[in-house]
Amino acid sequence: MLFRTVYGAELAAIYTYIQQHTQKSGSIPSSMIYKSFVASQMESLDENHHVDDALSFLTSALLIQIKDDRVESLTNVTDFRLALLQNLRYLEIHGVEAGHPLDPYYMYLLDEIFIKTGRQYVQDLHVEVNRLQVIQAVGGVSREKVSAWKRVMTSLGIGYRVSNGFLCLYSPGLLKSIIDIWEDESDTLQGFLEKHVEKYIPTFSRNGDLTPSLQSTLQHLSSEKVIDLYQLQDSPSRAFFDTRQYKGIRKRITHV
């Protein structure tokens, strides 16, 4: 199950450990993970619980598999954050493979509450989440689970926790990582978003506009000369950024 009481940083640490060791031996006993990530074997069961939750999350995120008490990574990941986001988006779209009824709604919450509405800040996210009919239909999500969701989203560069609420603003570092693995050097902005960025994060509001949570970050990366945003007079693709009517994007190539 994805809605576990995890924090974010430990997910990357535990997954990296699993990947490094299973590349050598194929799979490792789960006891190795507990020995490495539980501070003391004399601690209470609560210490083990954190590792249990992380392993459950990584399994539900299709990054690891556990069979006969042995663990292995399912793919060779170079950027954990992007691999996780891509799998979460996959589960959102193809929820039939999800291990728990709530799993497909992990990224859906981001998309439905923030991106499609164009909102960047929600004051009480727990209340907002449980207003969604699809969430009500599966029994709702507790405040504790919503808090864990906020922690993971913050660790991934999706936004920031603000008391009971959440501020959705894609971080420049996250978007730059997505741009760095873009195989093309230029495209229409619409094509770049639909064919590449949408694999990792939702980008469009319901009316097809660029979500504010991404627009400001693209503008920042343009000012930092990571990308160029420009007009394309004859392109039939959609224009963004209001009066500037940008239709094209180009990746700046840095030569060392």
More confident residue, 49 or 167: 167
The number of residues in the chain equals: 256
Rounded to two decimals, what is the model's pTM?
A: 0.92
Residue 12's Cα: distance from chain center in Å? 12
Task: Tell me the mean pLDDT in the region 7-30.
Answer: 89
Task: Tell me the mean pLDDT in the region 183-194.
Answer: 96
pLDDT on residue 255: 43
pLDDT on residue 108: 96
pLDDT on residue 129: 97
Give the count of beta carbons closer than 10 Å to the beta carbon of residue 229.
18
Contact 189, 248 (CB under 8 A): yes
Task: Tell me the mean pLDDT in the region 20-34.
Answer: 87
Give the count of beta carbons closer than 10 Å to the beta carbon of residue 78.
9
Contact 89, 71 (CB under 8 A): no
pLDDT on residue 25: 73
Exposed/middle/buried for 173, CB within 10 Å: 0-12, 13-18, 19+?
exposed
Give the count of beta carbons closer than 10 Å to the beta carbon of residue 183.
6
Q: For residue 146, name the pLDDT band (cuts at 50, 70, 90).
A: very high
Instruction: Retrieve residue 189's tokens.
Output: 């902005």
pLDDT per position as a tens digit, 82-131: 999 999 999 998 876 657 889 999 999 999 999 999 999 999 999 999 99
Looking at the predicted structure, is the pLDDT value of residue 4 above 80? yes
Looking at the predicted structure, is the pLDDT value of residue 169 above 60? yes
pLDDT per position as a tens digit, 193-252: 999 999 999 999 999 999 999 999 999 999 999 999 999 988 899 999 987 789 999 998
Q: What's the CA dihedral at 190, 193, 199, 204 to 10 degrees?
A: -90
CA-closest candidate to residue 114, choices 122, 123, 124: 122
CA-CA-CA-CA torsion sign (184, 188, 191, 196): positive
Q: CA–CA separation, 74 vs 208, rounded Å?
A: 35
Give the count of beta carbons closer than 10 Å to the beta carbon of residue 242.
10
Can you say whether residue 157 is alpha, beta or left, with left for phi > 0 and alpha for psi between -120 and 50 degrees? left
pLDDT on residue 256: 37
Angle at the Cα of 21 from the Cα atoms of 183 and 158, rounded to 5 degrees:
45
pLDDT on residue 42: 46
pLDDT per position as a tens digit, 52-80: 999 999 999 999 999 998 999 988 888 99
Residue 218's Cα: distance from chain center in Å? 18
